[in-house]
A and B are shown apart, each in its own frame.
Chain A
Amino acid sequence: MKSFSKVAAQGEITIRRISKLPKGCTPLALENGLFVIGHSETGHNHVLSRTDGCNVQVLDRPPEGMRILYAILKEPTSLDHQRDHDIHESIILDPGIYEFRIAREYDPYAELARKSMD
């Protein structure tokens, strides 16, 4: 279990401690009883270790291709990777406010397809 003070990364998720939530967010719904911060196509999701004392929100209008979430945590909570090999080690989040930025990727062929449709 790793700890940090300002910025950490777990796989494609960058975690930043912040002072307040931005405007324009929507509460995140539970999936199978868990807050899923980052989805994986193979089911190896990045999830919060608890749901009590967690207020998790999704930014309504992130930059193109991005997904950004926020969490107000009242209790120590870890971000866990649900996988049994090549696992990203858990990161402990002390009580506070956090931002989770899910990495994006540029696809040159998708861009070419988009331009050809314009």
Chain B
Amino acid sequence: MTFVQLIDCKTSKYDDMNRLMDSWADATQGRRTATHAATSATYDATDAATRAATRAATDAATRAATACLNLTGQFGLACAMQWSNNYQGGNMWASYECYLTACRDILGLELSSHVPYAHWEQAAIHGGFRVMHKEFCLVCDFPEIILTDEQNRPHCETGPSHRWRDGWSLYHWHGTRIPSEWIEDKASLTAKVALSQSNMEMRRAACEIIGWSKILADLSAKTIDSDPDPQIGDLIEVSLPDLREPARFLRVKCGTGREFSIGIPPHITKALDAQAWVVGLEPRDFIRPEVRT
């Protein structure tokens, strides 16, 4: 990932680099028409899908431009204008390639522009992030580890979701990017840290990592209803930041004797009704299990 640091470096050669970039953009205009042709031809065939992809690309470009301006001022803006031309994701940003390839291989939309596109496609299949230049190309290797959950979102409970051979890593919780210390130093992630996250997805991930049982133990929860059977459990209520009404949880023992806290919709008022909701049944249809393991 060395090339990522290019936008951080300070140089007295801004003017030279500017000229180099302009000349490169002019020189490669013809070669880059291969993907453009494939894109525009396919655009005509599947208009709606392209709008979504274009929106994503525009958002990415806007974020990149903002970062460049903050880092390097006007020169950064000049870079940002051409950023998407030379910084490409390869297999790590393969959604657009999947779209173009699916049009050919799944929908049978054979276009002449798919022939030059095949080179771009191969670059996506065989390499990761890359920076293209007329004289060189920086290509990032595949990560040695990519771990995902059932829904194919990046996720790992015990380490990085992505790790490259030089040790550079990313951490995710069910698709949400999280700080490495939440996984590597779990003691640093307290209920206070979790609940103070302003980003909703990160707060949700943090609460899941800690476990609601532990979070509730640190807060003053109020018992709404108790069932004599500890495997049916107690319905408890607690005030959480940003929620208009108190959140409700079913605190219950499972067949192995461990205690869990399960989130329950706020309209439920009985522990037994909460058990029925958890398994998707109306309370009248719920029967207490004869056996729990």
Contact = CB atoms under 8 A, between A and B. Distances in A.
Task: Classify the secondary structure of B's interface with A.
Answer: loop
Contacts of B287: 6-7, 16
Contacts of A103: 262, 278-279
B293 A2 contact: yes
Interface residues of B, number: 34
A113 B293 contact: no
Q: How large is the interface on A (under 10, 10 to 19, 20 to 34, 35 or more residues)?
A: 35 or more
Contacts of B266: 108
B263 interface: yes
A106 B247 CA distance: 10
Contacts of A14: 279, 289
Contacts, number: 98
Contacts of A65: 280
A30 interface: no
Contacts of A5: 290
B258 A8 contact: no
Contacts of A3: 291
B255 A89 contact: yes
A8 B204 contact: no
- Among B266, B281, B288, B293, the one with the most A-chain Cβ atoms within 10 Å of its Cβ is B293
A109 to B, nearest CB: 4
A107 interface: yes
A9 B204 contact: no
A62 B281 CA distance: 11
B49 interface: no
B258 A41 contact: no
Contacts of B289: 4, 7-9, 14
Contact of B290 (A6, A88, A116): A6
Contact of A108 (B247, B256, B258, B278): B247
- Among B150, B155, B290, the one with the most A-chain Cβ atoms within 10 Å of its Cβ is B290
Interface string A87-118: 11111000000000101111111101100100
Contacts of B106: none
B109 interface: no
6 contacts: A4-B291, A10-B292, A11-B255, A63-B280, A66-B280, A113-B201
